[in-house]
Amino acid sequence: MFKFGYVGVVGRTNAGKSTLVNSLVGEKVSIVSPKKQTTRQNIMGILTKDNYQLVFVDTPGIHRSKNKLDRFMMKNVRSAIAGVDVVLYIIDGLRYNEEENAYIKTLTDSVPTIVGISKVDAGSYEKIYPIISSLSENRDIKAIIPFSSYKNKNLDEVINEILKILPEQESKNFEFDEDMYTDKSVRFMVGEIIREKALLLLNEELPHGIAINVVKFEEKENLVNIDVEIICEREGHKSIIIGKGGKKIKDIASKARVEIENLIGKKVMLECFVRVRKNWRNIESEIKEVGYVDE
């Protein structure tokens, strides 16, 4: 017997969703950072075993909309929930807020929902019991699982609970090739890796206004030439990204290059340029231009 299903991974920003999807899939599907709103659009992470295939849809965190990019991200969350067989709602084990229960209720009313409590490696169990007891009031939650992606704790349990919900199938109706682990192109992954390094190396406020545009991706026999634009909102930001004597942008590029070479398995020549596009997060055409396109 076989099982196949889509699992929507939702929850507040920074809860640990992308880290969990990467751990479950065993590949880096989605970039991770301590900054809010690191994930901007739905990304599929695909886990295939002999008798099941699970497609995790990693989503941007739930948050209030301030601009058009925010609204694009929330639309992504809603569309992820609409099309899935199971929702995996992630609560940040270090930062639970009872207000989340109401949102979880809207989920359990429409989709089979499992709740995961993240980061148990960093918090104490005394902190987790009250979360579990507060959640237990909602009897429609299929399972409540404290877990740690860092310590690989209870991840099997997460998979088992998902499998319990999915119906058995006579034949292997897997929708994706067995060696595929994401729906995104290499080109997209390249942009995301550069954005991750920029998020890690730039100061707090700046990264939210950044986008990456891969303008050239030229694959030769044993080398790939890649040109990217790092797009920012102001001239002042441009000089911060470039840094003194170009140090910052070199640092971003060299860290990204190592990871891109691992991904592609070839030597990479990477050129990064910085371009200012004023207020791009509020201009529909600009949001599309940098790759955030409604499907």
Ligand X SMILES: Nc1nc2c(ncn2[C@@H]2O[C@H](COP(=O)(O)OP(=O)(O)O)[C@@H](O)[C@H]2O)c(=O)[nH]1
**The entry of Mg ion, ligand X, none that residue 67 binds, CB within 5 to 8 Å by partner kind:** none
Residues 49-68 within binding reach of ligand X (CB under 6 A): 61
Examine residue 39 and tell whether it contacts Mg ion (CB under 5 A). Answer: yes
What's the closest the beta carbon of residue 13 comes to ligand X, in angstroms?
Answer: 5
Counting contacts by CB under 6 A, is residue 24 touching ligand X? Answer: no
Site for ligand X in 103-122 (CB under 6 A): 118-119, 121-122
Number of residues counted as binding ligand X (CB under 6 A): 20
18 is an interface residue for Mg ion by CB under 5 A:
yes
Residue 154 contacts ligand X per CB under 6 A? no
Selected from 5, 16, 112, 207, the binder of ligand X by CB under 6 A is: 16
Hey, what long-range contacts does 193-196 have (CB within 8 A, 24 or more apart)? Answer: 193/31, 193/256, 193/259, 193/260, 193/263, 194/228, 194/230, 194/252, 194/253, 194/256, 194/272, 195/31, 196/31, 196/32, 196/33, 196/38, 196/256
Residue 76, contacted partner among Mg ion, ligand X, none, CB below 5-8 A by kind: none
**Cβ contact 16:118 at 8 Å:** yes
Look at residues 143, 149, 141 and name the one whose alpha carbon lies nearest to residue 118: 149
DSSP secondary-structure letter at 143? E
| Segment contacting ligand X by CB under 6 A, of 27-35, 132-140, 213-221, 280-288 | 27-35
Sign of CA dihedral 77, 80, 82, 85: negative
Q: Give the residue with the Cβ less far from Mg ion, 39 or 48.
A: 39
The residue within the footprint of ligand X, chosen from 2, 13, 169, 264 (CB under 6 A), is 13
Q: Which two tokens stand for residue 220?
A: 């030769």
Helices (H), the chain: 17-25, 68-82, 100-108, 125-135, 155-165, 186-201, 235-242, 247-264, 284-289
Out of ligand X, Mg ion, none, what residue 148 binds, judged by CB under 5 to 8 A for its kind, is: ligand X
Chain positions contacting Mg ion, by CB under 5 A: 17-18, 39
Chain positions contacting ligand X, by CB under 6 A: 13-19, 32-34, 38-39, 61, 118-119, 121-122, 148-150
